């Protein structure tokens, strides 16, 4: 028995020294490979070695008359487990998980300590002694505890509120912004009410002068990059009439008013674009006008950033309310131009 125990004790001492050595950099930190991920087998195996080692050590010390009190054995074991979990597992286990393991370990140690009446007495005696505080020394310890516990709790809560991270440089909270908030049912521009569901761009017309999205869509041959105009569909042709002429007029309005921000390629990279947050919309991005109905765009252009509803928070948009500068007709035309130039079709309601 003694031989086995002394062997275990030797193993325990070597394992502990090795662990401390690796943690404090006396030997290479990966002399024994770290428990990678949550490899339970390696962890259980290592812990079993430590438990055997500690048992051996305790037995040896006991037989030399230098027994470690039960109380400190228990505390020491919980501390060891926490220390082991913190330093032996890679990637590091988050605190919350370690706290959980720690609690389980504590329960296990309690069961161990209270497994027989005698051990349980030995374990709780130091605690009772401190609470009774019969001697001046114990009284001092009790007083220290009474101060230390609230201070520790305060420190812990304080610590969890203090911003962590590099130089405690706190990131500003992300501002969630609904880029395309739900539009109102109708919008009033220059005294006229437009119902978004039923209004139509009066300039998207076929040669007969009727609203006709099919017709205007057909004048755009290709979508995505490399968009082409049909040979007979050049808005800058002197002789262009109807829809195409409206596109040209919309283009003129765009280059007089919008390109400073939305860019001459309509890609949101205008001269002033990066002075603003949020940056101006990139109309070539399939996530903007291509997703939206023409009346939605009409509403956005007329009312600008100021007209955004609540979900458009933080209302930091510099998009001007163009109804203050353009006529209703001009707004419809510039919208027409944005779709024409990007080659996207306005979304329809169905």
Torsion sign across C-alpha atoms 252, 253, 256, 261:
negative
In whole angstroms, what separates CA 246 from the centre of its chain? Answer: 46
Residue with smaller CB distance to ligand HEC, 88 or 300: 300
**CB 214, CB 339: distance < 8 Å:** no
DSSP alpha helix (H) spans, the chain: 2-23, 40-63, 70-88, 95-113, 117-132, 136-161, 213-218, 242-257, 259-262, 294-303, 328-342
| 3-state SS, residue 35 | strand
Interface residue list for ligand HEC (CB under 6 A):
180, 257-258, 260-262, 276, 278, 280-281, 288-289, 297, 300-301, 305, 317-320, 322, 334
The DSSP symbol for 91 reads S
Nearer to ligand HEC, 54 or 337 (CB): 337
CB of 25 to ligand HEC, least distance (A): 54
User: Is the preceding omega at residue 91 within 30 degrees of 0, hence cis?
Assistant: yes
How many Å apart are CA 67 and CA 32, to the nearest integer? 31
Closest distance to ligand HEC from the beta carbon of 215 (Å): 23
Instruction: Give the nearest distance from C-beta 94 to ligand HEC in angstroms.
Output: 38
Q: How many CB atoms lie within 10 A of CB 289?
A: 25
Alpha-carbon distance of 142 to 148, in angstroms, equals 10
CB nearer to ligand HEC: pick between 53 and 270: 270
Task: Tell me how far, at minimum, the Cβ of 240 lies from ligand HEC, in Å.
Answer: 21
Nearer to ligand HEC, 37 or 287 (CB): 287
What is d(CA 345, CA 9) in angstroms, rounded to the nearest whole number? 80
**16 vs 267 by CB, closer to ligand HEC:** 267
Closest approach, Cβ 340 to ligand HEC, in A, equals 13
CB of 301 to ligand HEC, least distance (A): 4
Give the nearer residue to ligand HEC in terms of CB position, either 115 or 277: 277
Least distance to ligand HEC, CB of residue 313, Å: 12
The rounded distance, in Å, linking the Cα atoms of 212 and 260 is 31
- Token output for 316: 């930091």
Cβ pair 43, 89 in contact under 8 A = yes
Q: Which is nearer to ligand HEC, 180 or 347 (CB)?
A: 180
- Can you spell out the DSSP letters for 138-155? HHHHHHHHHHHHHHHHHH
List the Cα angle 322/323/329 in 5-degree steps: 100
Q: State how far the Cα of 60 lies from the Cα of 54, in Å rounded to an integer.
A: 10
Closest approach of ligand HEC to the CB of residue 93, in Å = 44
Q: Which is nearer to ligand HEC, 74 or 346 (CB)?
A: 346
Closer to ligand HEC by CB, 76 or 181: give it.
Answer: 181
**Nearest-10 Cα torsion for 270, 271, 275, 279:** 0
**Closest distance between ligand HEC and the C-beta of residue 319, in Å?**
3
């Amino acid at each position: 028995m003694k031989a086995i125990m002394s062997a275990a004790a030797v193993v325990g001492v070597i394992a502990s020294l090795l662990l401390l050595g690796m943690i404090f950099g006396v030997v290479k930190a990966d002399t024994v490979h770290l428990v990678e991920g949550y490899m339970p087998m390696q962890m259980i195996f290592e812990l079993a070695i430590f438990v055997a080692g500690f048992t051996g050590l305790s037995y040896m010390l006991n037989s030399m008359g230098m027994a470690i009190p039960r109380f400190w054995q228990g505390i020491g074991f919980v501390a060891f487990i926490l220390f082991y979990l913190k330093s032996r597992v890679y990637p590091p286990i988050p605190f919350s998980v370690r706290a959980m393991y720690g609690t389980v370990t504590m329960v296990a140690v309690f069961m161990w300590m209270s497994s027989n009446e005698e051990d349980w007495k030995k374990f709780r005696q130091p605690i009772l002694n401190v609470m009774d505080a019969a001697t001046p020394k114990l009284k001092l310890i009790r007083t220290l505890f009474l101060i230390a516990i609230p201070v520790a709790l305060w420190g812990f809560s304080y610590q969890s509120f203090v911003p962590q991270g590099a130089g405690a440089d706190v990131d500003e909270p992300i501002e969630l912004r609904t880029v395309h908030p739900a539009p109102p049912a109708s919008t009033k521009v220059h005294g006229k009410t437009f119902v978004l569901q039923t209004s139509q761009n009066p300039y998207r017309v076929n040669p007969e002068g009727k609203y006709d999205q099919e017709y205007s869509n057909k004048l755009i041959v290709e979508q995505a990059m490399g968009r082409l105009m049909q040979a007979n569909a050049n808005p800058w042709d002197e002789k262009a009439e109807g829809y195409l002429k409206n596109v040209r007029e919309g283009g003129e309005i765009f280059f007089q008013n919008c390109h400073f921000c939305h860019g001459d390629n309509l890609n949101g990279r205008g001269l002033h674009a990066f002075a603003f947050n949020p940056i101006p919309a990139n109309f070539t991005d399939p996530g903007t006008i291509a997703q939206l109905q023409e009346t939605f765009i009409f509403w956005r252009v007329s009312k600008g950033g100021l007209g955004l509803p609540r979900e458009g928070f933080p209302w930091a948009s510099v998009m001007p309310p163009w109804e203050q500068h353009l006529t209703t007709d001009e707004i419809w035309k510039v919208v027409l131009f944005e779709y024409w130039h990007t080659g996207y079709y306005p979304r329809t309601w169905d």
